[in-house]
Copies of this chain bind each other. A is one copy, B any other.
Amino acid sequence: MNDIQRNLSTDEQLTLLKRGVVDLVSEPDLKERLTRGTPLRVKLGADPTRPDLHLGHAVILRKMRQFQDLGHKVIMLIGDFTATIGDPTGKSKTRPPLTLEEARANAESYLQQCRLVLRQESEVLEVRYNSEWLEKMGYKDIIQLASRYTVARIMERDDFRKRFEGGVPISVHELLYPLTQGYDSVALEADVELGGTDQLFNNLVGRALQRDYGQEPQIVMTLPLLVGLDGTEKMSKSLDNYIGITDAPHLMFAALMKVPDALMPNYFTLLTDLPEGEVQALLAGHPAAAHEALARTVVSWLHPDADLDSALERYRAVAKGGIPENIPSVTVPAGEVNADGQVSVARLVALAGLEPSNGAARKLIQNRGLRLNGEVYGDPQGLWTLGADGVVLQKGKDKFMRAVLEG
């Protein structure tokens, strides 16, 4: 970890911090506050319901890290109390209410992943939970908070306006969430709040509320939502177009080699510190070289100890249809073998963890998604004799597993 740089001028800081930023409300405010020379309090809110982070999240965490590198203090605000409410209407299955313990456990996993990107020194990292103030809030406090904002201003939020005009129900409590989130900034006395562009409205509510509560209004900075590997939708786990930030180095490397060309400028800007000139030169050259530079930079950032050369070799071997070296293996218990010394292939797939069940494995085989030792294998009911070297199972292009007999 590099030392914290405290000797940059305001303009140098501003240039670094503005890279990749979409909204900045406002630049003069940020400049003025940086000029003071005292560390800023930089807030990022997190909903501890989906603990798996991908490169889309990493974009914002990188920006947080830049603030840290300049000596500012990052505040990770965990919405633990909000998570215990979930969807109070009970209609959404994706937002079940959690217990405070579940929310805290998710938060722990989330923070663990954030540590791949963020500095750990308490001087530049503070973790807070909104239960700290929300648990104490009573009816009167909420009425007072809600009185600070008009319905018309809340309804300016894009999704609210569209739903209201389109007759799609909005429950009254949904209007309270942006206010609560804004109040978090008041409680934390945040100087800056970061978020995706989809958080612009909510974070501006925080800015307005701080002014109303007699604080200096926070600076709101948004970053683009990273487009996923499909090239069209924002990166998200549910769309399966994502690269997880804890993905193994060789998988992350291979995935980055396949980023659609149109997204390359964005990925360079948002996921690396490579200077603009160097990025332009790479983009002007051979696409494979640009991809390799991206993959090397991002993988070595998140996995500083990764062997980039062998990740590249492995990627090339697989791309040519070959079988990479050093693939993980699973041991097949002797009891799985029949009198003729054979094992069900579907069973092997399930044992290797490539599919969750024998049934799913049979479907995979039927759909011609399985290779055995590099050859497509098409018989869902087929049997296989495991030799001394076992067999290499391959699901899709890049999931390999060797199965070897026990003993």
**Interface residues in chain A, defined as those with a beta carbon under 8 Å from any beta carbon in chain B:** 81, 84-85, 88-89, 134-135, 137-140, 142-152, 154-155, 164, 167, 169-176, 179-180
Contact = CB atoms under 8 A, between A and B. Distances in A.
B152 A173 contact: no
Nearest to A133: B139
14 contacts: A81-B140, A85-B144, A88-B143, A89-B147, A138-B138, A139-B180, A142-B142, A142-B173, A143-B176, A146-B175, A146-B176, A149-B171, A151-B170, A152-B164
A169 B146 contact: no
A146 B173 contact: yes
A139 B142 contact: yes
Tell me which of A146, A155, A169, A175 has the highest count of chain B C-beta atoms within 10 A of its own C-beta. Answer: A146
A contact face: mostly helix, strand, loop, or mixed: helix
B151 A171 contact: yes
Contact of A143 (B85, B135, B147, B154): B85
A211 to B, nearest CB: 15
A381 to B, nearest CB: 52
Contact of A167 (B139, B147, B152, B154): B152
Nearest to A91: B147
Contact of A172 (B84, B89, B154): B154
A176 B142 contact: yes
Contact of A147 (B147, B172, B179): B172
B173 A147 contact: yes
A147 B88 contact: yes
B144 A172 contact: no
Nearest to A171: B147
A345 B149 CA distance: 55
Contacts of A135: 138-139
Contacts of A175: 146, 151, 172, 175
Considering the complex of A and B, which 6 residue pairs feature the smallest CB-CB distances, nearest first? A146-B173, A88-B147, A146-B172, A147-B173, A150-B169, A151-B170
Contacts of A147: 88-89, 171-173
Contacts of A142: 139, 142, 173, 176
Nearest to A88: B147
Given A172-B175, A176-B172, A84 B151 contact: no
Most chain B Cβ neighbours within 10 Å, of A134, A140, A145: A140
A85 B151 contact: no
Contacts of A140: 81, 84-85
Contacts of A176: 142-143, 146, 172
A176 B84 CA distance: 21
Given A143-B176, A150-B172, A172-B176, 14 more contacts: A81-B139, A85-B144, A89-B147, A135-B139, A138-B138, A139-B180, A146-B173, A146-B176, A147-B171, A151-B151, A151-B164, A151-B169, A154-B172, A172-B179
Nearest to A84: B140
Which of A147, A149, A180 counts the most chain B CB atoms within 10 A? A147
A88 B172 contact: no
A152 B170 contact: yes
A176 B167 CA distance: 21
A147 B147 CA distance: 18
A151 B151 CA distance: 9
A388 B152 CA distance: 70
Contacts of A151: 151, 155, 164, 169-172, 174-175
Contacts of A171: 146-151
Contacts of A152: 164, 167, 169-170
Given A172-B176, A175-B175, A139 B134 contact: yes
A269 to B, nearest CB: 38
